[in-house]
Amino acid sequence: MADTQALYRLYGVPSWGSVLVEAALVQARLPYTFENVAGFDEPGPARDRLVAVNPLAQVPVLILPDGTVMTESAAILLHLAETYPEAGLAPSVGDPLRPAFLRRLIWLVTAVYGTFTYADYPERWAPSVPDELRSRVLGRRMDLWRQWEDEIAPAPWALGERFSALDIWIAAMTRWRPGRDWLAENCPKLLSIARRVDADPDLRELWTSNFGAI
């Protein structure tokens, strides 16, 4: 499937947003190295290494085999899906499920993922009321998960019968706040997708290395 000589280089932190890209690399059976930049959210060498490739100082960053720097998880995912269609990460152009896939992927990065920028570091944006900002933004994120839960069919995967990277993203992002216990109470259909992906033998090692015991 892949040119095994061509190595991808992923900048990330275990269990952080880099897991979204790492899972796609594993799913596509692509060789990669992992540049752990843990601690990059404080000044120091890890931040310096990250800022050198992404001035926004965010993970994930993927360096392609030709040296091209890619940031933005959805862009990276779409690039990998298009380059390695056999990995089944996304319905291809012309597939009737493609619009639903694109809509939900972009919704995930704009509506849901964006909330982490504000709730993870509320003191940056509202220094006088950080706790209030965190709790309001977390409330917004819960509303968003509930909205998807209401829309999703009770089928095995987010797109119905067809597995896609959306399922991988559900498995990863539901590890983040508000977390799986909240999901069990509020979003059982999304949780069942997450658990099905947890059990995928190809991805188990990745989940363990990122989140510990699953």
Ligand X SMILES: N[C@@H](CCC(=O)N[C@@H](CS)C(=O)NCC(=O)O)C(=O)O
Contacting residues toward ligand X, per CB under 6 A: 16-17, 41, 57-60, 72-74, 109, 113, 116-117, 121
Q: How far is the CB of 115 from ligand X (least distance, A)?
A: 9
The residue among 20 and 190 lying less far from ligand X, judged by its C-beta, is 20
Q: Which residues contact 47 (CB under 8 A, 6 or more apart)?
A: 37, 39, 40, 41, 57
Count of CA atoms in the C-beta half-sphere (13 A) of 170: 30
The residue among 80 and 189 lying less far from ligand X, judged by its C-beta, is 80
Q: How far is the CB of 59 from ligand X (least distance, A)?
A: 5
CA distance 124 to 137: 14
Q: How far is the CB of 178 from ligand X (least distance, A)?
A: 15
Q: How far is the CB of 65 from ligand X (least distance, A)?
A: 20
CA distance 214 to 207: 7
The residue among 105 and 203 lying less far from ligand X, judged by its C-beta, is 105
The residue among 78 and 189 lying less far from ligand X, judged by its C-beta, is 78
Q: What is the CA radius of gyration of the chain?
A: 17
Residue with tokens 């899906």: 81
- Per-residue tokens: 192: 């069942």
